[in-house]
Amino acid sequence: MTEVQVIFEEAIENGWFGEMVTVVRRDGEIFDFVLPGESVRPWEVVSVEKLADVIGELK
């Protein structure tokens, strides 16, 4: 299990996501997530995606 998978599993267990999640991608791969009100760096690629799709991609 990758570090990203562990981070997402913890966030899901803590109830931080609804049906959608804001993710940060690096080189096209999911790198991190962004919580509401959290800032992102100008060069980060951010998108809002369905949580089910993100979970599927991480497996």
pTM of the model: 0.85
- Residues whose CB is less than 8 angstroms from the CB of residue 21 and which lie 6 or more positions away in sequence, other chains included: 33, 48, 49, 50, 51, 54
Confidence of residue 40 (pLDDT cuts 50, 70, 90): very high
Answer yes or no: is pLDDT of 38 > 90: yes
Domain chopping of the chain, boundaries: 3-58
Answer yes or no: is pLDDT of 1 > 90: no
Residue 33 CA to residue 7 CA, distance in Å, equals 9
